[in-house]
Amino acid sequence: MRRAFVKALIKLAEKDKRIYLLTADLGYHALEEFAQKFPERFVNCGVAEQNMMGVAAGLALSEKKPYVYSIVPFVTFRCLEQIRNDICYQNLDVKIIGVGGGFSYGTLGSTHVVLEDLAILRALPNINVLSPADLLSTEELIAKSYKTKNPSYIRLSNAGSAKAYEKKPNLQIGKPNVLRDGKDKAIIATGIQVSLCLEAAEELKKQGHNFKVLDFHTIKPIDKQALLKELKGVKKIFTAEEHNTNGGLGSAIAEILAESNWQGTFKIIGTPNEFLSKIGKAEYLRKKYLVDKQGILKNILKFL
């Protein structure tokens, strides 16, 4: 996904000289093309993420359009105070790109596995929180978020093989995108879980369950009316995310459904509110925590 991000950013930077790319000494084998094309607009801030956010804020206040890149734990948790006070408080046009969401860096343990970022970042005022499903949706959301003037956090996964779209989609920030029509049941997913849920929906159909599948690429803001329109007549809803069940996509959807007096049954599929007890590759950890395709199937069928 990071290559899709760089590809999309280069296209934008060729037309807009305000675009700067900042990194905290990461992004090797991905950011080089941007650095070669626009050396005066590429800044390696070193292992100093908090300072990097301050530099980004200064660039935004100087009418530039900075993109800040690092792996998720470093670009969110390490500099949360600076994101809150320097960027969100002033509502600055800074785009924060976090690569390696969820279990992407599972071999490095709990310090590098990030299952709380969506909850923490969506709690901050002014910021958009986006989570693309695959390479094509990454390019699309980079292009669409470019048009916004407030802060954005874009969570990328290391799942280059995930495929939710056959062609570049026309996504709208805040609005869910229907990938599969269904009757009275729906799965709402974000990030890599979208492609897994599409596969799970195919298996469920063989067992007589016809699920609508929604790509919820925007965790914040959410167009409540657009969501409720897509869920009209749906009586069973499941959400799926590679994230803690507290505060993420499922919590955001639950809040809206509760306030709308929706009647039905609802289940959040995600990881438990605990630190990892296992270390391993992403595929192993998804299976362990029941957020791979078979885990999603097991969760849904058990609940049904």
Look up the pTM and report it. Answer: 0.96
What pLDDT shows up at residue 159? 66
* Numbered ranges of CATH 3.40.50.970 in the chain: 2-156
What pLDDT shows up at residue 250? 98
The pLDDT mean for the chain works out to 96
What pLDDT shows up at residue 123? 97
Known catalytic residues? 49
What pLDDT shows up at residue 36? 97
What pLDDT shows up at residue 160? 64
Q: DSSP of 173-235, one letter per residue?
A: TTS-EEEE--SSEEEEE-TTHHHHHHHHHHHHHHTT--EEEEE--EEES--HHHHHHHTTT--
Correct CATH for 2-156 of 3.40.640.10, 3.40.50.300, 3.40.50.970, 1.10.3720.10: 3.40.50.970
What pLDDT shows up at residue 299? 96
Pick out the chain residues at pLDDT < 70.
Answer: 159-160
What pLDDT shows up at residue 95? 98
State the amino acid at position 151 in one-letter form: P
Architecture of domain 177-303: 3-Layer(aba) Sandwich (3.40)
